[in-house]
Chains A and B, each alone.
Chain A
Amino acid sequence: MLGLFLLPLLSVFIRSIDPQFFNYAFSEQALSALKLSLITSTITTICAILFGTPLAYILANWKLKYKPWIELLIDLPIVLPPSVAGLALLIAFGRRGLFGSYLNLVGVSLPFTTVAVVMAQMFVAAPLYIRSARVGFTGIDRQLEEAANVEGANRWQLFREVMLPLTSKTLLSGAILTWTRALGEFGATILFAGNLQGVTQTMPMAIYLGFERNLGVALALTVMLTLASIVLLLSTRWLEKPNCD
Chain B
Amino acid sequence: MKRFLSLMLLLVLFVAGCAPASTPAPEPVTLNVFAAASLTDAFTEIGNNFQSANPNVTVTFNFAGSQALRTQIEEGAPADVFASANAKEMDALVAGSFVIAEASRVLLSNKLVVILPVDNPAGIDSLEDLAASGIKIVLAAEEVPVGRYSREAFEKMNGQFGSDFSQKLLANVVSNEDNVKQVAAKIQLGEADAGIVYTSDAVAAPDLATIEIPTELNVIAKYPIAPLVESANADLAEAFIAYALSDEGQAILQKWGFASP
Q: Say if A and B assemble together.
A: yes
Q: Check: B174 CB closer than 8 A to any chain A CB.
A: yes
Instruction: Give Cα A211–Cα B191 distance, bound, in whole angstroms.
Output: 26
Partner of B68 from the list A112, A190, A211 (CB cut-off 8 Å) is A211
- 29 A-B residue pairs with Cβ-Cβ distance under 8 Å, sorted by A, are A94-B190, A94-B191, A95-B189, A95-B190, A95-B191, A96-B189, A96-B191, A111-B174, A111-B191, A112-B136, A112-B192, A190-B178, A190-B182, A194-B138, A194-B174, A194-B176, A194-B177, A195-B141, A195-B176, A195-B177, A196-B174, A196-B176, A197-B176, A209-B176, A212-B65, A212-B68, A212-B141, A212-B144, A212-B178
Interface pair A196/B190, CB less than 8 Å apart? no
Bin chain A's interface residue count.
20 to 34
- Closest Cβ–Cβ distance, residue B143 to chain A (whole Å): 4
Interface pair B174/A112, CB less than 8 Å apart? yes
Interface pair B138/A211, CB less than 8 Å apart? no
Question: From residue 67 to 120 of chain A, which have CB atoms closer than 8 A to chain B?
Answer: 90, 94-96, 109, 111-112
Q: Do A90 and B177 form a contact, CB below 8 Å, given A212-B65, A212-B67, A215-B71?
A: no
Find chain A residues with CB under 8 A from B186 CB: 194
- Closest Cβ–Cβ distance, residue A239 to chain B (whole Å): 37
Nearest 3 CB-CB pairs, A to B? A194-B175, A213-B143, A112-B174
What is the interface of chain B, defined by CB distance below 8 A to chain A? 65, 67-68, 71, 136, 138, 141, 143-144, 173-178, 182, 186, 189-192
Contacts A196-B176, A212-B67 known; 7 new A-B pairs at CB < 8 A: A90-B189, A95-B190, A95-B191, A111-B191, A195-B175, A195-B178, A212-B65
Q: Check: A208 CB closer than 8 A to any chain B CB.
A: yes
- Closest Cβ–Cβ distance, residue A84 to chain B (whole Å): 15
- Closest Cβ–Cβ distance, residue A192 to chain B (whole Å): 9
What is the interface of chain A, defined by CB distance below 8 A to chain B? 90, 94-96, 109, 111-112, 190, 193-197, 200, 208-209, 211-213, 215
Q: Do A208 and B178 form a contact, CB below 8 Å, given A112-B136, A194-B186, A213-B143?
A: yes
- Closest Cβ–Cβ distance, residue B253 to chain A (whole Å): 24
Which residue of A96, A200, A209, A212 has the most chain B CB atoms within 10 A of its CB atom? A212
Interface pair B175/A94, CB less than 8 Å apart? no
Interface pair A212/B174, CB less than 8 Å apart? no
Which residue of B68, B138, B141, B144 has the most chain A CB atoms within 10 A of its CB atom? B141
